[in-house]
Structure 1
Amino acid sequence: MSDTTSSKSDSGPITENIDIQEKKLNNIDEEKQPVPAPSPPYSAFTTRRKSFIIFLVTFAGFLGPVSGNIYIPILPQLQDVFDCSETTINATVSVFMAVFAVSPLLWAVWADFGGRKTLYLTSLVFYILSNILLAAIPANIAALFVLRISQAFGASSVMSVGAGTVADIIPAKDRGKAMSYFMLGPQLGPVLGPILSLIATNGNWRWIFGFLSIIGGIIYLLIVFCLPETLRYLVGNGEELKLSGPFVKPKYTQPKLVENFPKPPKPSLKNYWSAIKFMPVLLCSLNSGFLFASFYGISVTFTRILKDDYGFSQLARSLSYICPGLSLISGSLIGGRLSDYLRRRAKNKNPTKYTPEQRFSIQIVGLAISIAGILGYGWCVDKHIHVVAVFVFTFLAGFGMTWVFITTTTYLTEVSSAQPATNVAIANFARNASAAISSVIIDRLVEQMGFGWCFTGLAFVNLIGIFIVLLVIYRGPTWRSKRDPK
């Protein structure tokens, strides 16, 4: 008994030690391994706030195009009011388009460096004051030129800076769809402009500028009190802003709150040239320019053809712009979603080998649709085919064009995270410059070549776009890696 007891007592500490060791080992096994902290979201803004930001910059993006197009139908009225020649009054359109094309290059590079909201608040002051003065001062042709230049200068920033804002808050996987919503503002301007010009009937031309100043003022106040700074270099994903509720503290400039975000290049001529000569940006800009020049040729001739060849009244001609408007909207929304779908499919198939250029395959389809529309429009007008056919081919030309533009704009925000607004501004410059050239020469080309062959030539020019798309798909990754080896 005593031996047994002694044996047990002798083995007790050993057993106890073994049990303790086993428990320690079990605890180690059972203990949860450290879980790496989840990566922060691309944007800390709520879904509701992101939706509102996109709505607001879309609304702001409407200002420039509607200001340019609401003015065109009342040119004969303004010619009488300002007592000038047709050439002189048409020149006020040309200077607006020229300034609207060049100015975004200035605005965008500063928006990529100093802040999105600061640029909105600065540029829109020029726009609002110009419209107030146009609505109030006595009719003077010199003043009209100066104020149209100032109006275009103020409105021109929003297209490129707005694209940068979308890129700030929407990750690349959803950016095509978001860009398609943002593009609705610039696309609806040319459509609603001629319709809204009806408020100038009975000689009330000043109400056009009064209306634009009111709309601009509303947008300005919403930006002041509701739009947070989004530039990622300054605020990152927005978490450090610590926002609560729909309003933000009015602030003209935003101090830097975060580190470790890519520092954009400081505005300079050298950096401008660096962005322009970057092959993906240059080629996408050329492609967009060719396509927009062709579509603008349709837009410039559309209303005159409806009047002279098909006998449409002023009201009917204004309402006819609903057709190209629907084409731009539907092409944008469908193209944006398809672009995101292609990205998701490529990422799911081989995540390590995904490149932004894989969005581009749908551009060939968009170009083919637009080329068909350009050809069909030219020959339908040339052969005096029923007006329904003219509308169908006008729709196809706009549908394919905006399909291409959405993919291009989204791609340009992906190829350089440090300066997306600058890349988009360069493409916008190419588009608007091409539109200005097209509007000047299209009548002469039609006169010399005839409608059918003129638009056949424009269609063949756009075949270059297919070659550009293929070149970007196959060479884009190499060009990007050489520009940024990281």
Structure 2
Amino acid sequence: MSSTLPEAKCLPIPKNNTASDASQDPNCDSIITIDNPLTANASEEHDKTNTTSPDTPYSILTARKKAIIVVIISLSSFVSAFSANIYYPALKVIQNDLNITERMVYLTVTVYMIFQGLSPSFWGSLADSWGRRPVYIMTFLIYIFACIGLACTKNYVTLLILRMLQAFGSSSAIAVGAGIIGDIATPMERGGYMGLFSMGTMLGPLLGPVLGGIVSYRLGWRWIFWVLSMLVTPLWFAIVLFLPETLRALVGDGSGYANPTPLQYWRRERKIASKQLEDIEKPPRSRFLVLPNPFQSWVYLKERVVLIILLYNSLQYAGLYCVITSVTDLFSNAYGINEVQVGLCFLSNGVGASLGSYTSGRILDWRFKTIAKSLGIDEKNANSNIPEDFPIKEARMGITWIWGIAFNVAMIAYGWSLFYKIHIAVPIILNFILSFTATSTFNATNTLLIDLFPNNSAAIIGSNNLTRCLLGAGAVLTVQPGVHLMGIGWFFTAMSLFLLITRVTMAFLCFRPVSSKKV
């Protein structure tokens, strides 16, 4: 199997608020053009700012300001994954306390994942229109109230409904956060920033189950949601006070003015009052009156290349979540451990995922720079825009097959180690490998999607979240009946072989030699 992908001649980074139109290229799939009428005026206002050249910075934000933004959005993405994973060690406790069946308690996991998949289609459309900042403020306020309600719930129906609302509130973090990375990071540094951003997401599996096991064992499962509300409230205030607007259609390279923080508003009004600054026209407020298009993220699924990338990523995600959600039940039955010990078993997943995010980000930046250098592309040009004949798929996806094969082998070994009840250290180590390789793949696919659609980045990541959460939710429902029907070893072997088939399908479509043509 070759480790190269075709040139993305039809997929340059667009300079306006649309995806590239490749309909005239017979060798390339047509790429969707998604106009954003809500920000058309703002886009025209900053047209000169967005038209980058080798001497024009992609963003005027300093490295320090970028670091603050990445920290805030990483913590926000951490909340989304943390909310799901802190819940897993308490599944049996919730089942016994509410007197419900095992299938009913697993349904609360499934509906959470379904709403995590569907909601970004709504929020991503708003974030690409209204701006990133107001969406973050709204969604995390919804999340806080949902957590308070969950902490007070007394019955199963309320638990189920509020878990949906909790997912609806937290689901914006990943899609909108990835959009912010596309706003502030150049293509050459985007992989590294995505790696750091993904570390927040992947710390959820590291800390969530541990804290969830301790809290549910010592204080009861309802305290899980009190803890979440207490953790997220300070983050919400940090978003309100410090997270600036970054949507390029509204603020261009960061020099524009829209959705200001309190400090930005105060400084601007002070300059206007002292006549140091004229009150220039702001983006029209009418954009807030237009309803979002919840189907925008679905449009991308019509494109063959995009659909293949999303399915590849989503099936990988489904396989990983089959492993993660089965840990509580399978480890408890195989090794007779309690909630706290189950929570500690998740540490390997979190460490593997965090290291995978960081290392893959560094690798993606290194590959981009290496390929750019081999094609004679000046670093300044690559930082501004990806040339039309730059092999961006090769730069992002060229080595994902290595992570994929390692994941397949580890999944088979994981199933049989539990079947034969080998020492608990073995499946824990295998969980580390599974999380490391899967997260590396997620980082590569997310970065590629942002490269292809930088001005609709929240919507395209919303599409990714949609497919992966829906497939993940469906896959989670197969774990319990699959293990009972086939046994642990054969179930995870079958899952691994199915994933292998999907990898071969993608290889036939995408893996072809890269042209050596100089740019």
* TM-score bin (small chain): 0.7 to 0.9
Task: Map residues 24-423 of structure 1 onto 2, 5 A cutoff.
Answer: 39-135=55-151, 137=152, 139-197=154-212, 198-241=214-257, 247-249=263-265, 268=293, 271-350=296-375, 351=377, 353-359=389-395, 360-423=397-460
* Cα distance in 2 between the residues matched to 1:319 and 1:401: 20
One-letter amino acid of the structure 2 residue matched with residue 335 of structure 1? S
Partner Cα distance (1:100, 1:269) in 2: 14
Cα 1:271–1:140 change in 2 (3 A) is closer
Letter in 2 for 1:405: F
CA distances 1:309-340 after superposition (whole Å, capped 9, x unpaired): 23334322211111111111111111111111
Superposed displacement of residue 246, structure 1: 11
Q: Displacement, 1:267?
A: 5.0
* Match of residue 275 from structure 2: none
8 Å contact kept, 2:300–2:460: yes
Give the deviation of 1:203 after TM superposition.
Answer: 4.4
Deviations, residues 258-291 of structure 1 (Å, cap 9, x unaligned): 99xxxxx995477444322122321111001211
* Residues 188 and 369 in structure 2, CA contact (< 8 A), matched pair in contact too: yes
Distance 1:348 1:357, change over 3 A: same
Alignment gaps of 5+ in structure 2: 1-51, 268-279, 285-289, 378-386
Which shows bigger deviation, 454-463 or 216-225? Answer: 454-463
CA distance in 2, matches of 1:450, 1:141: 30
Letter in 2 for 1:232: R
- The root-mean-square deviation of aligned C-alpha atoms, in Å, is 3.0
The higher-RCO structure (CA 8 Å, 6+ apart) is 2
- Do 2:411 and 2:434's aligned partners in 1 also have CA atoms closer than 8 Å? yes
2:503 to 451, 465, 484: 465
Deviation at 1:474, TM superposition (A): 4.5
Of 418, 428, 438, the match for 2:475? 438
Summarize the Cα distance change of 1:272–1:87 in structure 2 as closer, same or farther, 3 Å threshold: closer
Residues 113 and 266, structure 1, Cα contact 8 Å, conserved in 2: no
Report if aligned partners of 2:205, 2:349 keep a CA contact under 8 Å in 1: no
Once the two structures are overlaid, the 10-residue window that deviates more, 287-296 or 157-166, is 287-296
Give 1:320's aligned amino acid: C
Higher mean alpha-carbon deviation, 304-313 vs 228-237, is at 304-313
| Aligned residue identity for 1:392 | I
What do the CA deviations read for 1:104-137 (whole angstroms, capped 9, x no partner)?
11111221122111111111121011112333x4
TM-score (norm: length of structure 2): 0.77
Distance between the aligned counterparts of 1:389 and 1:339, measured in 2?
30
- CA shift, 1:445, in A, is 1.7
1:371 Cα deviation (Å)? 1.2
Runs of 4+ in 1 over 6 A off after TM superposition: 242-246
8 Å CA contact retained: 1:357, 1:473: no
**Distance of aligned partners of 1:79 and 1:449 in 2 relative to their CA distance in 1, 3 Å threshold:** closer
Q: Is contact 1:224–1:250 with CA below 8 Å preserved after alignment?
A: no
Equivalent residues of 1:235, 1:257 under 8 A apart: no
In the aligned structure 2, how far is the partner of 1:37 from the partner of 1:277? 33
Q: How far apart are the structure 1 equivalents of 2:53 and 2:218?
A: 67
Amino acid across the alignment from 2:308: L
Query: When the two structures are aligned, how many residues end up with a matched partner?
Result: 433
Question: 1:143: how far off?
Answer: 2.6
* Structure 2 residue matching 1:448: 3-state secondary structure: helix
Provide the C-alpha distance between the structure 2 equivalents of 1:105 and 1:269, rounded to a whole number of angstroms.
5
Say if 1:225 and 1:248, in contact at 8 Å, map to a contact too: no
Matched to 1:114, the amino acid is: W
For residue 80 of structure 1, report the CA deviation from its aligned partner. Answer: 4.7
1 CA distance for matches of 2:80 and 2:237? 18
Residues 104 and 160, structure 1, Cα contact 8 Å, conserved in 2: yes
Question: Quick one: which amino acid aligns to residue 58 of structure 1?
Answer: S
Richer in helix (by share): 1
Instruction: Tell me, in whole angstroms, the C-alpha distance in 2 between the residues paired with 1:346 and 1:109.
Output: 33
Residues 458 and 37 of structure 1: CA distance in aligned 2, closer, same or farther (over 3 Å):
closer
Counterpart for residue 10 of structure 1: none
Residue 12 of structure 1 corresponds to none
- The answer (yes or no) to whether the contact 2:245–2:259 under 8 Å persists in 1 is no
Distance in 2, matches of 1:84 and 1:245, equals 46
Q: 1:412 to 1:310 in 2, by over 3 A?
A: same
User: SS at the partner of 1:309?
Assistant: helix
Cα deviation, residue 249, structure 1: 3.5
